[in-house]
Amino acid sequence: MSRIFCPALFLAAPSSGQGKTTITAAIARYHHAQGRQVRIFKMGPDYLDPQILEQACGYPVVQLDLWMAGEDYCRQQFYIAAQTADLILVEGAMGMFDGEPSSADLASVFNIPIALIMDVKGMAQTAAALACGLANYRDDVQVVGLIANNCASERHRSLIAEALPDNLPLLASISRDPEISLPERHLGLVQASEVSELIETRFTKAAAMIGVSNLADLPAPVAFDSRELPEPLPLLSGVKIAVARDSAFSFIYAANLNLLTDMGAEISFFSPLGDTELPPADALWLPGGYPELHLKSLSENSKMLAAIRAFHADNKVILAECGGFMYCLESIKDLDGQGVEMLGLLNGDACMRPRGGCQGMQYAQLPEGDIRGHAHHRSQAENTPDPVAYGRRQRHPAPGEPIYQSRGLTASYLHLFFPSNPSAIAALFRPSQAQ
């Protein structure tokens, strides 16, 4: 086993909505502008924050989760990044101790120091008390300071700084400024590709605040050990997989694509929005995304609808996840209950809901094997056929997401993390499985 040292910092918060992504992006952009190579990891199964963070640092952002991906996978990814990075940043998920495993668990396993991000609007010395409580809640994590977000003034900043103990300093204060916040919609942040120029100006402004703070200096080096994982077998050698990728279907783990190619698959991309035919393929992958924002364009692309319907009629393999599953139903109904025709590969309708939704970690219990993944959606499928199986929740006995199969189609609201079971993924995509 070999070891590499690299400066690293874990950005955590007491809850969601504290500004973790904005500040992580600002730190990354500041150091990137100084000519440093910054690598960012995102805790948990997130598609939207990594798009923003990738634009901030200029490198792909890898999602890490001790349950979904496993400790060995996480260790390998940190070690690979540390070989070339000048700085490693990890953005946590939800609150610091929320979930099993939590952000604190990931930071603890890899001994990465934590900087607390807290929205201090409406409080001053109380922010210091909350920070001290979080810092001392567990003795297996090291909290090195507080980042006060939404500071109203210099006086506000000084009240918080003076209330903090010497071993928990104020690392930075981020001014209350709507021009640095990132735009959001119902499942989280807006996709980076939709607001690229806007977020560039916000990165610049937020990075300037980092430049006059203690975060302008690199954090202490952290030791990252190697962990060699077995090379994937060429189980998909020569299999051509076409992947839907555009503004309607963009929830794609880079790790999933990497595994498919490592197993020998030939990957091509197509757009259900703009293309009129499929590339040559043995299998299709329709990932999640925001089809509900593009109903008219998807429904009116009759040539693409016909091409995918013919592909399905030929018993060829299709994996449809969440937004891709919605696309496979007969219609998607908007918040007013107006339905727009979709593929109709499965009976049923996806109905958008104004609030609520399903989220959480689950196993997809497939005939090919259990594959770990998660659910996060704001719609509900109605009038569907009987499922072949249900997802199994990580820690709750209630049935998880229904899983449907029809001819070569496997469809569910679940987003799958392919490296959790490469052999099952290979069996799922191999053409013989659809015969």
Q: What is the pLDDT of residues 346-385, one digit of tens each?
A: 999 999 887 655 668 899 989 899 999 999 877 888 999 9
- Is residue 192 predicted with pLDDT exceeding 90? no
pTM of the model as a whole: 0.90
Q: Is 132 a catalytic residue?
A: no
- Is residue 27 predicted with pLDDT exceeding 70? yes
Segment 264-293 shows an average pLDDT of 97
Q: Given pLDDT bands bounded at 50, 70 and 90, which one contains residue 387? A: very high
- Is residue 341 predicted with pLDDT exceeding 60? yes
Q: Are 212 and 238 in contact (CB under 8 A)?
A: no
Q: Which helix (H) or strand (E) holds 192?
A: none
Pairing state between β 389-393 and 358-366:
antiparallel
Window from 68-82, 302-316, 378-392 with minimum mean pLDDT: 378-392
Question: What confidence score (pLDDT) does residue 155 get?
Answer: 96
Instruction: Tell me the C-alpha distance between 353 and 334, whole Å.
Output: 8
Q: Given pLDDT bands bounded at 50, 70 and 90, which one contains residue 396? A: confident
Question: What confidence score (pLDDT) does residue 258 get?
Answer: 95
Structure tokens at 359: 């989220």
Instruction: Tell me the C-alpha distance between 310 and 245, whole Å.
Output: 20
Segment 29-35 shows an average pLDDT of 96
Burial of 97 (0-12, 13-18, 19+ CB in 10 A): middle
Question: What confidence score (pLDDT) does residue 183 get?
Answer: 53
Choose, from 57, 132, 151, 322, the residue flagged as catalytic.
Answer: 322
Question: What confidence score (pLDDT) does residue 198 get?
Answer: 61
Q: Are 180 and 208 in contact (CB under 8 A)?
A: no
Dihedral angle, C-alpha 376, 382, 388, 390, nearest 10 °: 40
Q: Which residues, listed in sequence order, are joined to residue 375 by a DSSP beta bridge? A: 360
- Is residue 194 predicted with pLDDT exceeding 80? no
Question: What confidence score (pLDDT) does residue 230 get?
Answer: 86
Tally of CB atoms within 10 A around 148? 28
Window from 80-94, 348-362, 392-406 with minimum mean pLDDT: 348-362
Averaged pLDDT score across all residues of the chain: 91
Q: Are 298 and 327 in contact (CB under 8 A)?
A: yes
Q: Which residues contact 126 (CB under 8 A, 6 or more apart)?
A: none
pLDDT per position as a tens digit, 154-182 = 999 999 999 999 999 999 999 877 666 65
- Is residue 219 predicted with pLDDT exceeding 50? yes
Domains of the chain: 3-225 (3.40.50.300), 240-434 (3.40.50.880)
